[in-house]
Structure 1
Amino acid sequence: MRNHEPTSEDTDTAPTTRSAGERPEVDWSQIVPWEGKAQRGDKVLLGVIVGIVVLLLAALPLSPFLIAANPILLEFIRGSYAAIGAGAAFARIGEAPLWLVVVAGMVGMAKFDWLFWLCGRRWGAKVIKLFTPSPRAQALLAKLEHRPWLTRLAVIAGVLPGIPAAAVYALAGFARMRLGTFLVCNLISSGIMTGLIAWLGYSLGQHAVDVVIKIDDYALWISLALVVGIAVWSSRRSGAQRKRP
């Protein structure tokens, strides 16, 4: 019997097989927040957000030093609750004006939130789904979309723990909330939280300052632990991604 010679027709219709070591192609359309080809504005906005995240991570090891040396500066850089509490404690013993502690905390907590509003305004529902992959959270946000007063309340509550703030702020942009309205609600939110934490730190006073000074004694070791922890977490995450089929 004559062996069948493969023709060009056969090779065209034959199913392609992927070698064992070859990685599957990534469908970037499911990952990026925009639809179609990226425009210049998309690239700039994404680059700014990534750059801010990198800078905040780079500043993380400095936190143990700044929280004792200059907690108000740390408030402005990171907007962290610990920095606000430490700044208020220093204000109690006369080392800093309390109004500056509150203002720095408000600005530090709210300074980048408008970028997420802009993400929602520019990229729409897709970026909200990227921020909140949970179906329950997506259903809740969908209910807020056509209720402006509820959206404003959600923005004010966005600073509370457990609330997906980035998704709420993006929803505000997607729902066409005005930037001025968003900024007012956002500042009210950060002001309430900053005031509560500052009151707690001011009440503790010298006791809180003693804790902060104790942290300063071990600041170098705490910073080294943070750097090592970030490096280990990054290497494990990249290793897990490489192992995925």
Structure 2
Amino acid sequence: MTDPQPTDGDLPASDSEAASTQEWWDDPSLPWKHKPTKADILCFSWLTAAAIYGVVISILRPGMLASAPMVLASQGSWSGVVMTGALAQGGNPWWPLVWALATLGFVKFDWIYWWAGRLWGRDLIEVWSGRSARARRWNDRAEKFARKYETLAIIVNFLPIPLPRAVILAVLGEAGTSLKKLLTVSILSSLVTTGGYLWIGWYFGEPARFVMETYGNYLWYVSLAILVVVIVSTWRQQARKTA
């Protein structure tokens, strides 16, 4: 007597078949572990817009620093603010307006990262860390610091030190920091530090202007490198998806 042959329904699904049934939102590069809600989609769209803005402004920064430093400063650029301070020493009267706009420019995306942290918590930081052990260690330290020193973490975010600003804001969102407190402390901190950058430019005057112009010249090479990295990273991601 022969054993009954398994039917198609009894056969285990192949890896390719299993992959084909995977929903698009199960992609590990996405910060959620469920079918995204309208809030998830909207917040992710804002994050994408902020990332695109960051790349574009990084590419345009050298030219803007030379031709339109006050416009650049108004977007939230410390180099543009220093240049504006140097121009103020020479008699340019627009520095108070630039001070106000730059104060808001430095905090314009804070609410997005806070919201993302409130929605996705630790999963978002895992996505940002990726496979880089160094990024993971750095982000873990920033997370511990933000959880331990809530208000201080917001203030330190505005100092010219290499901190993963987005990670700190996301952690504060997940930890329950109110948006009102975040924006209040952020705007006050931005007002003070922006004033400090203006003072540096005004105090040093022409030497500060020369330094910023030289810095802008070197930024062209940095901008080109950023553009190449973005193109190569996008190409590699597409290649992995189609492989």
Aligned to 1:159: 158
Give the equivalent residue in structure 2 for 1:111. Answer: 108
1:68-114 residue CA offsets vs partner (Å, 9 max, x unmatched):
3332211122x122111111100111113443343232222111111
Correspondence 1:20-35 to 2 at 5 A: 28-35=26-33
Question: Do the aligned partners of residues 123 and 12 (structure 1) sit closer, same or farther apart at CA in structure 2, a change above 3 Å counting?
Answer: same
Number of equivalent positions: 231
The CA distance in 1 between the partners of 2:210 and 2:145, in whole Å, is 47
SS in structure 2 of the partner of residue 111 of structure 1: coil
Instruction: Give the Cα separation in 2 of the matches to 1:212 and 1:140.
Output: 30
> Matches of 2:178 and 2:15 in 1, distance apart?
52
How far apart, in 1, do the equivalents of 2:201 and 2:210 lie? Answer: 12
> CA contact under 8 A between 2:155 and 2:189: conserved in structure 1?
yes
Amino acid aligned to 2:136? S
Unaligned 5+ segments in structure 1 are: none
Q: Which residue of 1 aligns with 2:119?
A: 122
Identity score, percent: 23
TM-score, normalization by structure 1? 0.74
The alpha-carbon deviation at position 43 of structure 1 amounts to 0.8
Q: What residue number does 2:36 align with?
A: 38
Q: Which moved more, 1:131-140 or 1:38-47?
A: 131-140
2:207 alignment partner in structure 1: 207
Aligned equivalents of 1:14, 1:213: Cα separation in 2: 65
Matched, 1:80 2:97: no
Query: Partners of 1:51 and 1:98 in 2: how far apart?
Result: 29
In structure 1, C-alpha distance between the alignment counterparts of 2:165 and 2:118, rounded to whole Å: 15
Q: Give 2:140's match in structure 1, choosing from 138, 141, 160.
A: 138
Return closer, same or farther for 1:115/1:210 CA change in 2, 3 Å cut-off. Answer: same
| Contact 1:72–1:104 (CA under 8 A) maintained in structure 2 | no
**Aligned 8 A contact 2:25 2:35 in 1:** no
**1:131-184 CA distances to partner (integer Å, 9 max, x unpaired)?**
455256436625753x5xx21111111233222211111121112212111112
What stretches of structure 2 of length at least 5 have no aligned partner? 130-134
Task: Give the direction of change, closer, same or farther, for the CA distance of 1:204–1:68 in structure 2 (3 Å limit).
Answer: same
SS of match in other structure, 1:177: coil
Relative to structure 2, which stretch is displaced further, 108-117 or 27-36?
27-36
Q: 8 Å contact 1:116–1:169 — kept in the other structure?
A: yes
2:28–2:127 Cα contact (<8 Å) kept: no
On the 8 A contact 2:87/2:205 being kept in 1, the answer is yes
Segment of structure 1 superposing worse, 98-107 or 35-44: 98-107
State the partner residue of 2:196. 196
Shift of 1:227: 6.5
Q: Shift of the alpha carbon at 1:47? A: 0.9
**1:89 match:** 86
Tell me how far apart the structure 1 counterparts of residues 70 and 190 of structure 2 sit (CA, whole Å): 15
1:196-222 alpha-carbon deviations (Å, 9 max, x no partner) = 322221122123334556788x79xx7
Q: What RMSD over aligned residues (CA atoms) do the two structures have, in Å?
A: 3.7
Give secondary structure in 1 for the equivalent of 2:106: helix
Q: Distance in 2 between matches of 1:29 and 1:231?
A: 25
Deviation of 1:9 after TM superposition, in Å, equals 5.0
Measured in 2, the distance between the counterparts of 1:9 and 1:175 equals 52
